[in-house]
Amino acid sequence: MIKVENLTKRYGGVTAVDGISFHVGKGEIVGFLGPNGAGKSTTMRMLSCYLPPTSGRAEIAGFDVFRNSLKARERIGYMPENVPLYNDMRVFEYLKYRAALKGVRGRRMKERVGDVMDLCALRDVERKLVGNLSKGYRQRVGLADAMVHEPDLLILDEPTIGLDPNQIRQVRELIRNLGRHHTILLSTHILPEVEMTCSRVMIINRGRIEAADAPENLRARLRTAGDVRIEVRAPDLEKAKAALLEVPGVLSAASTEEDGWGVFALGIEAGTDPREAIWNLAVSRRWAVRELSRTRVTLEDVFAEVTHPDE
């Protein structure tokens, strides 16, 4: 559905996007992640035909977005981070207007406007002025606008920005359902949403794609495999810490004391699970154990390692 080869965008002497290449298959929901200023929005604007590239190529459904821009746009639904809406139009009027601009006519227009209002839960506000809507409803109108012409590809830039937790959950379910019929390229800073929604993740940093894989594969490639937490009552907590560091697979140990209990956060090596060895150590040393648990790595950990590799 999306094919990008050596795509580059420069602003004066600044390179915002630096020769990136990637593919997105039909029916995929792909998370496009990166810190602020990494080149995410610039890439999305080029794919949406809003910005010309400095060099490189991009295709949407087989159409070059620069040489066959109109054909490519017919297959794209783009929702920018800050949704531009006409505040003096009512919701249903605005969606009819946008449908007409996108070539939806006659009875089909009425059907599509009704469908997207139902999908985005806009029926309760369809006769309200857009300018009187809350942030959450404005985001839903923007999403409905992106879908009204039944595009093959949805490009969503921060679709849940400014929404409350309930609204975020609703949008997440909507995106997951849309993935049954659309290819979706999704940019967001809410990483748990990506883990629950996306089949694949691309991380861009300083204009380059640094990682691209399924979330579970990215977590497996992380240098550490998370933390093991153990709370023990031992005669000498410093000696206990030293003993824990001798356990195979334990890379680091941070400790605090709470009411006479030693609380240890142990960094462990990827691909290992030393909890059994830690338990056996505690038994052999006659330590009382109040807790032994493992915290697994998250996409947030992957994001931090990829975008700040030296930290």
Q: What is the pLDDT of residues 106-158, one digit of tens each?
A: 999 999 999 999 988 899 999 999 999 988 889 889 999 999 999 999 999 88
Bridge partners (DSSP) of residue 186 are: 31, 156
| Residue appearing with tokens 């017919």 | 74
Of the residues 179, 196, 219, which one is the last residue of a structural domain? 219
The crossing angle, in degrees rounded to 10, of helices 237-245 and 275-284 is 140
Query: Mean pLDDT score of the chain, rounded to an integer?
Result: 89
Structure tokens at 190: 């809410």
Which distant-in-sequence residues (6+ apart) come within 8 Å of 231 by Cβ?
258, 261, 262, 263, 264, 289, 290, 291, 292
Please say which residue of 165, 193, 219 terminates a domain: 219
For 66, 71, 94, 145, the CA distances from 74, given in Å and listed in that order, are 13, 5, 19, 13
Q: What was the pLDDT predicted at 310?
A: 55
Do 144 and 212 fall into the same domain? yes
In the prediction, which pLDDT does 228 show?
Answer: 92
What is the pLDDT confidence band of residue 282, given thresholds at 50, 70 and 90?
Answer: very high
Average pLDDT over residues 98-103: 94
241 neighbors 54 (Cβ within 8 angstroms)? no
Average pLDDT over residues 41-62: 92
Judgement on whether residues 49 and 164 belong to the same structural domain of the protein: yes
- Domain closes at, from 219, 244, 275: 219
Distance CA(42)–CA(62), nearest Å, equals: 21
234: CATH? 3.30.70.120
Residue 248: domain span: 223-307
Q: Determine whether 117 is exposed, middle or buried from the number of CB atoms within 10 Å of its CB (0-12, 13-18, 19+).
A: buried
The pLDDT of 84-93, averaged and rounded, is: 95
Residue 309: band (very low, low, confident or very high) from pLDDT cuts 50, 70, 90: low
Of the pLDDT bands very low, low, confident and very high (cuts 50, 70, 90), residue 250 is very high
Does one domain contain both 280 and 133? no
Are residue 9 and residue 135 in the same domain, yes or no? yes
Residue 270 scores a pLDDT above 80: no
Please check whether residues 175 and 239 belong to one and the same domain.
Answer: no
| pLDDT in the model for residue 175 | 84
Q: Are residues 149 and 278 in the same domain?
A: no
Residue 232 has pLDDT above 80, yes or no: yes
Spatial strand order of the sheet with 63-64 comes to: 14-24, 2-11, 55-60, 63-64
Is the pTM value of this prediction over 0.85?
no
pLDDT of residue 84 exceeding 60, the answer is yes
Between vectors from CA 151 to CA 20 and to CA 170, what angle results, nearest 5°? 90
CA distances from 31 to 54, 230, 280 (A): 24, 35, 42
pLDDT recorded at residue 223? 56
Number of domains in the chain: 2
Question: Is there a single domain that holds both residue 260 and residue 184?
Answer: no
Q: What is the rounded (10 degree) CA torsion for 140, 17, 223, 299?
A: 0
Residue 78 belongs to a domain with what CATH number?
Answer: 3.40.50.300
Summarised one tens digit per residue, pLDDT across range 145-197 is: 999 999 999 999 888 877 778 878 888 888 888 888 889 999 888 787 788 88
* Between 1 and 163, the higher pLDDT residue: 1
Are residue 134 and residue 265 in the same domain, yes or no? no
pLDDT at 224: 56
pLDDT score of 301 more than 80: no
Q: Are residues 143 and 239 in the same domain?
A: no
Same domain for 200 and 237 = no
Q: Give pLDDT, residue 269.
A: 83
Same domain for 294 and 195: no
Question: What pLDDT is attached to residue 305?
Answer: 78
Task: Report pLDDT for 202.
Answer: 94
Same domain, 76 and 188: yes
